[in-house]
Structures are given as C-alpha cells and as structure tokens.
Structure 1
Amino acid sequence: MIGSILLALLVLLLIWFVVARMLAGPDLAAFDLPGSAAEARRQRFATGESLNAEHRQVLKLLGELSAQTRKLPLSQHLKFLRRFMDSLSEGHTLTARFVPVDAGGVKAEWVLAPGADSSRRTLYIHGGAWAMGSPLSHRVITNKFSELTGGAVLAIDYRLMPEHPRRAGIEDCRTAYRWILDNGPEGPQPVSALVVAGDSAGGNLTLSTVAWARDQQLRPANAVVALSPATDGTMSGKTLKSNLATDAMLGPLFAPLTRLPHSALLWLTFLLNRQRPCNPVLSPIHGDLAGLPPVLIQASEDEMLLDDAQRYQNKALAAGSPVTLQTWRHVVHVWHMFDPQLSEARQAFEQIGQFLQRCLPAPQHK
C-alpha cells in the first residue's frame, strides 16, 4: 500500500516537472552575454556614484507606500494600489489637453500638447502588472510623449485583471493599434508617423503588439519605446532575484513569489493566464524578433526586470532587428514617472526625444 502511494507521488512529481519544462519553453540563458560583450551593446547613464537626495526622496515615497500597504488586509491591496497609481499625476504641471475617446470599442483618452499634429500619433500602453494603472496614472509620461513627438498620444484604458482575462487586455491593444492607423483626435485621418510605447506590463504589451502587427502585415510603427518592459513570462532572468533588494518598487510587491520554486511559478502563471508562459503573446522574447521596427528599451540597472531587457535586446539583434538598450544606475523601475523631479527621468526623456527625432519623419509645418 505504502509502495503504491510512493509510486503515485513519484509519477505526479514527474508529470509536474515535465509539464513545467514544457511551460518554460527554450532556455533563454543563451542570450546572457559575458560582461564585456554586454557592456559594449548597451548605453549606460548615471548622475553619480551613489544615491543622492532625489533618489532618497523617491525611495522614501515608495517605502511609505509599502508600509501603508502592509497595514491593510490582503483583500484591499489591489484597490489601494490602484488609487495610489492614479494619484501619481496629481500636482504636476501638464501642458496637454486630455480628451476621452472610444478607440474602436476601447476606452482611451487623447493627450494633446499645444500644437499637436493630429496625424503624428503615439499609442501608449500603461503599466501596472496587468492589474493596475490607467491613462490617468500615466499622464506625466503621455504628456511628455505628446511634447516630444509634436503629435497626439492615444492612452488606452485596456481591460485589467482579475476582472478580465489577460487576453482581453491584449485584444484591446490590437484593436487600438488598428484604430489609430486611420483615426486621429479630429476624426478619420491617415497616420503620418506612428510610435508605440509602454512601460513595464505596458512595455510587454507594446512589444507583443508590434510583433503581432508585423505578422498581420499592418503598417509598422516608425519607432517603438519600451520602458522597463517585462518580456519573459517564464520569469527565468537571474536579476529577478539578484536585484530583489535594490528594486524598491517591484521588490516589496513580488518578493513572496521569488521564494517559490521556479516550476511552481510556471504553473501559477499558466493557471492565471490559461496559456503557456512561453507563449510569445505573453512573452515577447519567446517569439520571432526579426523584422521589427526600431526599438528603444530603457531599464534600471537596479531593477528585477533588467535581464528581461538585456536578453530581449540580444535576441533581437541576433535576429537582425534594430534594438537599442539604455540603462541607468540608482533609479527605480519606470523612474520616468518621477519627471521632472528626478534628473534621470529628464535624461531618459532627452534620449527618447533624440531616438524619436532619428526615427520619425520631420513634422509638416502648417
């Protein structure tokens, strides 16, 4: 009897690990380059050798947020964090107008800086772990993109988990991509310049969407910008653990998950999303990265998702796609949210502006 139970347990364990291996997909370690080779490929930025007053102010804010969150019952965490994210744009001086719009059935808002050319458009996909965030939470960033491009930004309010399956948010991004090609703030109008951008989970959706657009043979974006993107749903990057202590934003939220065995993380992701974690729809790095538009990725050297950015660049370059990676020291995940108070945020937007100037056609003067 005991022997039969042990045999059954062994069989179950074997099935568990065999299936987990199938969920993981190909090993991405092949895209980890030695230090010198990695250094040669990325552009590094820093404002100093150590943390400064600006960094400490951001860390203080995030520390207070973590402390407040811990005081709440687990059932209230998501609601609290959603409110916090939506408050991030409060108190900022923003030059743009914000106009609600139905983007082919997807809730969204146009972000229009003064003089914005309605034919020059950016599709912006916000971050928030696919469960938080909104056009409101990211107005600091979308306002800046409208200024940098001289055009209109469509910030979409895609459907979030857990109220909706992750696939719903993916479909909303695809719908918005098709819609923005033919529609501007003033109604139907062809697009003259197109940018697709997003941060964190929105960076994941950005990279997934532009690969889908390529496969659908739709008009490609002139430029793609991914800020601290999550590219690997199998969570195989080493920096998920090695940067846990230095990631003041993601670390407190996801530390419990990092203590789970990797096979358990794969199963959990599969059960939450009803798709293999290595499916390119969820994990852009596991897809075909050939034939992509010019991509700029910016990431923090202190964040957990650093390997997601580095590995994506390495695989994309191997496939012949033009991907630039820029990294900053001493900053948090998606530090762009703290513009203009944070010097590195100002630097990052300057670099984005230069990238867009190289990639986009010159504005047409009216």
Structure 2
Amino acid sequence: MLWIILAIIVLIIAATLLLFRLEDLSHLDQDEYPVREGKPSDANREVLGRIRELGQSSKGLRGKARLMALRKHMDGLSEGIELASEFRHCESPRGEWVLAPDCDTRRRVLYIHGGAWAAGSPRSHRAITDRLSQVTRAAVFAVDYRLMPENRFMDGVRDCRDAYTWLLKHGPEGTEPADFMVVAGDSAGGSHTLSLIAWIRDTGLRQADAAIAFSPSTDLTLTAPSNRANIGTDPLLGPAFGGLSKIPLPVIWWATLAAFRVSPTSPVASPLRGDLRNLPPTLIQASDTEMLLDNARRYASRAKAAGSPVTFRTWPGMVHVWQIFVPLLPEAEEAFEDIRLFLEQVESEGKTQQAAQT
C-alpha cells in the first residue's frame, strides 16, 4: 500500500514539473525603480474606510451570495461622484461608451476593468473611465467582458479581443476609423491589457499606440516576492488573497488550471511569461505596499530587456488601484496627470518618427 502512495506522489510531482515548467524570474527583482517621495495624503484614511466597507459587504456570506454582494458593492463605487462624461450603452460588443465633452471620437481607449475576473463592470469603474476620457480627449469604450465563474476565462479574453478589433473601425457614432488607439486596464483588466497587446502584435492587427496598466496581475504562478511579503500592507488584496500564502504553490497552480482552464504559465493568463518584444509604449502604475508590486516591476524589467518601451511609476502607501478614488484622492489626480504627460510624449515621439520617415 505504501509503495502505491509513493508512486502516486512521484507521478504528481513529475506531472507538476512537466506541466508547469517555470522560468526562474528572480533576477528581475534586482532592478530598482524610484518611489515617489512623500506620505499618503489625509484623504487616504477615507479610502481605507471604503475598503473596509467593501470587505464588510460580503462578510459572513459564502459562495455565490458572497460574489453577488461583492459585485453589487463594486457597482456602487462611482455613485455620488460628479462625472463629466456621457455614458452610452452598447450591445454588440457589450459595454459602454464614455464620452467627455468635446472628446475626439477618432481617438479611442479600450478600457478593461478589474475585479479578479469575477467581479467589476463598466459601471463600477466609471470614475476611472470618466477621467480617462477627459485626460486623453478620447472616446473610451469600457468593455463588459464575460466574467467567471459563469463563463470561462477565455470567454472574457475573446470579448476583449473582439472589442479591440471592432474599435479600430467603429466609434460611438458608427463606422469611423480610429486615428489613435490606447488599451488600458486595472488589476485583472491590466492582465488582459498586457496579454491583448501581445495578441495584437502576433495577429498583425493595427497595434495600439500605447497601453496603460494600473496595478496589473502579470503572473498567476504567484512566485513574485511581494505576493507574500506585502500581504500585511495591502488592505484590499491582503484580506482577500493573503490566505493563499499558506497553500503550497503547486497546489495553487493545479487549482488555477482547474478554475481557469488555462495554465498559470500561459502568457494569456500570465503576460509576464510571454514574448515581450515589439510592444507599444506602456505605462504601468503601482503602489509600493501592494501584493502585485513585483508583478508590475518584473513585467517592466522584462519588457525593457526585450526592447519594448515601458514606463513604471510607483506611489508610496496607496491601496490597490487607487486611481478609482478620483477625485477624492490627490494621488489619483497625480496618476491621471502622469497618464496625460505620458500620452503627450508618445504622440510627440510618434509625430517625430513620421516626420523622419517622410
């Protein structure tokens, strides 16, 4: 009996090593990036209070009831905020247009919301998409991609791909080619953003002019140091996912494969582990105290080493995806100003390159 148990253990270990062959990326942790000086603003205390409310909204609930409560609470995040944009529902592809006054409809941003691929919606992230439309002077399309667990992970991926392909030729008023394209997203949506720009490159579609990722998930293998080291300093992800630190990583990999039906080593789910060459200018913003810090830092380092232009900005002591708390949080305002300046530079360099070619 003992030898049967030992044989099973050996088979499991062998299958794990064969299926989840991991490149050691710890050398990327040696790269250092500057953190903005200063301490969190006074408004951050109110933000922390809202994070606690989010946790309380699903306390004591389990399973589907917990997920539904989380989704409902997230959809209310932008309530009570004065928004400047017009919000226009779109059925196919499913999502909503976010149109700031005087935006140029030939300038477009595809926004992919976060929520661990199981929560969030265009409504929950209106504070972000409203401000994005203003600072980019573009028509923002917030895609309402299919969520887990009702749908497969790849269903959501395909929705994002279809939305981007459609946006190249369609604006809020109908058929109209895009002059300037940006792909942006936060957290899980940041993961979709980074995998999407690689897919665009590989399929030969017109590439986005730029990409923006807020606190992106880049590696579902959870091997980055901050996934464990920052559990205690991340008030949002720490309580929700900190318990995973007690589970052996191979067990998490098998569970991820079962839930996502995609290996955690796949570049579709872990864009860090894909080909990062020939990608568009990308801006990544993260907090130095969040669990996904090293996911963002590793991606920036690896993409730069592959020759792709990446700008990585780090804020001190912010909550995960603090940009959603604009205009309450001064640091969120700083983040959007950073985006404005980044895109101005991208466009300026693009015009210089065009002039040099003519």
Name the counterpart of 1:230: 217
Distance apart, 1:179 and its partner CA: 0.3
Of 326, 334, 338, 2:313 maps to 326
Taking the aligned partners of 1:143 and 1:360, their CA distance within structure 2 comes to: 21
Contact 2:41 2:331 in 1 (8 A): no
Distance apart, 1:202 and its partner CA: 0.2
Name the counterpart of 1:129: 116
Q: In the alignment, does 2:179 pair up with 1:183?
A: no
Name the counterpart of 2:81: 92
Contact 1:98 1:109 in 2 (8 A): yes
Name the counterpart of 1:348: 335
User: What are the within-5 Å matches in structure 2 for residues 21-170 of structure 1?
Assistant: 21-34=17-30, 38-39=31-32, 42-48=33-39, 51-102=40-91, 105-170=92-157
Higher mean displacement: 256-265 or 218-227 = 256-265
Name the counterpart of 1:262: 249
Name the counterpart of 1:357: 344
Of 275, 290, 300, 1:303 maps to 290
Taking the aligned partners of 1:85 and 1:28, their CA distance within structure 2 comes to: 36
Taking the aligned partners of 2:136 and 2:41, their CA distance within structure 1 comes to: 31
Give per-residue Cα distances to partners, 1:2-44, cap 9 Å, x unaligned: xxx221212222222222234433334344243xxx23xx342
Name the counterpart of 2:304: 317
- Report runs of 4+ in structure 1 exceeding 4 Å deviation: none
Taking the aligned partners of 1:271 and 1:110, their CA distance within structure 2 comes to: 34
Q: In the alignment, does 2:4 pair up with 1:8?
A: yes
Cα distance change, pair 313–23 in 1 and its aligned pair in 2 (3 A): farther
CA RMSD of superposed structures (Å): 1.6
Distance apart, 1:52 and its partner CA: 4.6
TM-score by length of 2: 0.94
Name the counterpart of 1:203: 190
Taking the aligned partners of 2:25 and 2:65, their CA distance within structure 1 comes to: 38
Cα distance change, pair 138–227 in 1 and its aligned pair in 2 (3 A): same
Distance apart, 1:47 and its partner CA: 3.4
Taking the aligned partners of 1:190 and 1:225, their CA distance within structure 2 comes to: 21
Contact 1:250 1:333 in 2 (8 A): yes
Give per-residue Cα distances to partners, 1:233-256, cap 9 Å, x unaligned: 111111111000111111111122
Cα distance change, pair 28–57 in 1 and its aligned pair in 2 (3 A): farther
User: What are the within-5 Å matches in structure 2 for residues 281-296 of structure 1?
Assistant: 281-296=268-283
Of 13, 16, 19, 2:15 maps to 19
Q: In the alignment, does 2:269 pair up with 1:278?
A: no
Taking the aligned partners of 1:75 and 1:183, their CA distance within structure 2 comes to: 36
Higher mean displacement: 126-135 or 60-69 = 60-69
SS of residue matched to 1:124: strand
Taking the aligned partners of 2:195 and 2:170, their CA distance within structure 1 comes to: 22
Taking the aligned partners of 1:23 and 1:98, their CA distance within structure 2 comes to: 45
Distance apart, 1:133 and its partner CA: 0.5
SS of residue matched to 2:129: helix
Tell me the percent identity: 45
Instruction: Figure out how many residues of one structure are paired with residues of the other and give that number.
Output: 350
TM-score by length of 1: 0.92
Contact 1:194 1:223 in 2 (8 A): yes
Name the counterpart of 2:355: none
Taking the aligned partners of 1:353 and 1:198, their CA distance within structure 2 comes to: 16
